[in-house]
Every structure is written in C-alpha cells, then in structure tokens.
Amino acid sequence: MSIEQIQYLVDALASRLGRAVVVDDQDLRLIAVSEDFGDADPARIWSLLHRRTRPEDVSYPEIKQLAGPARIPENPALELWQRLCVPIRCQGLLLGFTWITDRYSDLTDDQIADAAHTAEALGVLLHRRLVAAAHELQLRQQVVEQLLSEDPVARHAAREEALDRGLLDDGQAAVMVAGYRDGAGQGLSPAGPAAFWPRRAVVVLVRLGEFADGDLAEASDSLLAELKSEPSRAGGWRVGVSGPAAGLLELATAQRQASLACSLAADGAAACWSTLSADALLAQLAARAPQGIIIPDGVLALLADPAAPMLASTVETFLDCAGDVQRAARELHVHRTTLYYRLGRAEQISGLSLRDGRDRLLLHLALGLRRVHGKPRVPGLTAASSADFPTDVGDRSRNLQRRAG
C-alpha cells in the first residue's frame, strides 16, 4: 500500500531530524504525520485536529509556486511558528507539501537537503496513488453505467464486478439525476461514483443499512447547493432523487424515477420521487402521448377561455384538495364565495360537472398533463412536447364557448 510507504518515509525523516513531519496533499488535506517531538505550535495542533492546514496560515497561493524548500515566516497573530515547506512534485505535477517546524532557523543545509530528497520519493508514491485513484474512478464510472443499463445481463455482471472489487456494497441504493437547461453542465464532477453525459449527471448512493427519513431529500439538496456554489454553475440546475432501491440490480428503475423527478423540478430546485404523488404517473403518461392527441371538447373550451389561467388553476387546486372547499379556498387565498363563482364559471364554460366523478377525473388528468407538459425536459429522458396539446384550441372550441354562454 502506498500510504504505508508514505508513512514509513515520514517517520524515517522525522527520526533523522528529531522533529515532527507532516505531509499534506496539494489541497492541504492531511495525508501522514509523524510522532510529536514537542515542536507543535497551536496552528499545527489545529491542523491535526481538523485533518487539514488552513490556507491563510501558509500563504497558499505563494507556496503553490515554490520550486524547492522555503521557510514560512512566523505569524504571532495566527500562533504559527516558522516552518520549512518542501513542495512535493512528480513529473511536473504539484502533489503535496512537507511541513517541518523550524522556529529558530536551526535546520542545517544537510537536513534541508534530506527533506527535499524525501519529498522526491514521496512524489513518486503520491503520483502512483493519483494514477491508481484515477483508474479506480474510471472503473467505478464504467460499473455504474452498466448498473444503470436496461440490459439485465449487463446489470448482473456489473454487480458481480462491483462486489468482487469492493467498488460498491449491495445495500439499499438510490440515484440522483442533475440536469441543466443549457450546455453549461459540461465537466460536472459531483462527489461519489457517477456516470456523466453533457448537461446531465447521475450519482449513485449506496448504504449498507437503510436510508432514514429525509436522507435522500438532504442528499439532493446538498448536490444542488454544490452545483450552484460556483458562478459558472448558477442558474438552471435542477436535481431529482429516486426512492430507495433494494440493491444494485434495482438501479435502472431508480434512475428512471430520479429522471422523472428531475423533469418535474423547477429550475434551481430539487424534487423527490417519493413526494411526486400523481405527477409521477402523469409524467410517464405525457411521455407516451402520441402527437396530435385529441383533447375532449369541454377541456378545450376551458383552456381557450381568456380566464383559463385563473380558472384552470382554481379547478386543479380544488380537485387536488379532494373537493374540500374550505381547504381549497385557503390554498388559493380567496373567499369561499369567490371559489364557488370560479368553479361555477369553469363548469359553465366547459359543460363539465364537478359533481360528476368521470368529469372530475377528466379535468384532473387533463390539467395535470398540461402542467407536466410545460416542465423543462431532462437530457436523456424522453418527454412529450407541449405540441401534444393542440395549438388551435381557440379555433376548435369557439362554437362550444358560444353554446356555454
């Protein structure tokens, strides 16, 4: 293991120098630390407790440019003693830093040369570690792509490979899909095993136990916040998360759930499959609606009316509330008299009765499909276009409106 070899080199150098040696990676995250020789200042103690060095303590932009060993001056305000910084490089890549306390500038030239020689050896090991990590990431991505495949043979083979190589555990799993409205999603790199497409990313979550209530919603919110954290990524990101899947073989279904949730999420928001309710089915019905679908005339009349935005929203809210007038009025922030008037007007225009179960079902489905049609689509997920709802509503329903008065 390279980490064991790294630790051996760190301990050996510390023993020769009689001083503590710390090695960070290129992002100042702790990799290895030797025993303490009583030369740890408060800043060093903080870095050990938090497993990283504070960039402001060591002038990070400057030390990244170092070609060789250099002393970092003392900073009493930060309780930081002077120390020697030796950059760790291999094949021109900056891979980390070696830190040695040198409060009184009493490290000899030979000792500094020894530290530099050790840093070269550490660079070789860290480079191997980097290459191995890149290879494992590529392998994980390939396995994830196969696990998300619709081919059951490929999924079974990918599951066996994931378990044999220790890449994933076959516990409860879930999928998150992140989508972007334009081409700014190139190069997306969320944490965790992922497969990437232009403007789209799929992230797989695996847990040995079970997901607790709220875990998946929290994960999707965290991913969305990460995507929106950089100015170049702000804007049209949206995230959908599946429900819990029983194991790795169920990831293909989980991906479809997450894609549907993502397609229904507003820009800059996240949506969970488990909370979609009827929209989960409506989205799939919309995706399979044939071009030129014929909408019943009563619905066309309602949608063609100048007051359609208000009336359609009122009717859908009323139906969402299962016909509870008081609750619907609260949801719409209107008086019950206003609600009754709007519902009556919708019945008059459409010729449909909200007291008839089949008419209510027709309106609820039609208005739900219309709302789902208008949501932005996720790359890679087939969805019907808004053209599935005829654009000649006004012409086709003019006579019906005359009859409805």
Instruction: Provide the CB-side half-sphere exposure for 77 (13 A, CA).
Output: 3
Contact status, residue 304 vs residue 397, Cβ threshold 8 Å = yes
Neighbours of 100 (CB within 10 A): 23
Sheet holding 270-272, edge to edge: 194-197, 200-207, 172-179, 238-241, 270-272
DSSP 124: H
**Cα Rg, the chain, nearest whole Å:** 31
Domain 2-135 classification at class level: alpha beta
Two tokens, residue 299: 């619905």
CB under 8 Å to 33, separation ≥6 — which residues? 10, 20, 21, 22, 23, 48
Distance between CA atoms of residues 68 and 386, nearest Å: 62
pLDDT score at 200: 67
In whole angstroms, what separates CA 335 from the centre of its chain? 41
pLDDT score at 374: 56
DSSP 78: G
The residue ranges of every structural domain in the chain are 2-135, 148-275, 287-404
pLDDT score at 398: 35
pLDDT score at 169: 80
pLDDT score at 87: 96
Strand, coil or helix: what is 191?
coil
What is the residue type of 193? P
What is the residue type of 87? P
Tracing tokens 């790795």 back to the chain, one arrives at: 248
Distance between CA atoms of residues 263 and 384, nearest Å: 11
pTM above 0.85, yes or no: no
CATH for 287-404? Answer: 1.10.10
pLDDT score at 394: 39
Distance between CA atoms of residues 304 and 299, nearest Å: 9
Residue ranges of the chain whose pLDDT lies below 70: 1, 181-200, 230-235, 286-293, 373-405
pLDDT score at 286: 63
| pLDDT (tens digit per residue) in 184-198 | 444 333 333 444 444
pLDDT score at 235: 57
Distance between CA atoms of residues 331 and 326, nearest Å: 9
pLDDT score at 399: 36
Distance between CA atoms of residues 211 and 259, nearest Å: 20
Matching fold, domains 2-135 and 287-404: no
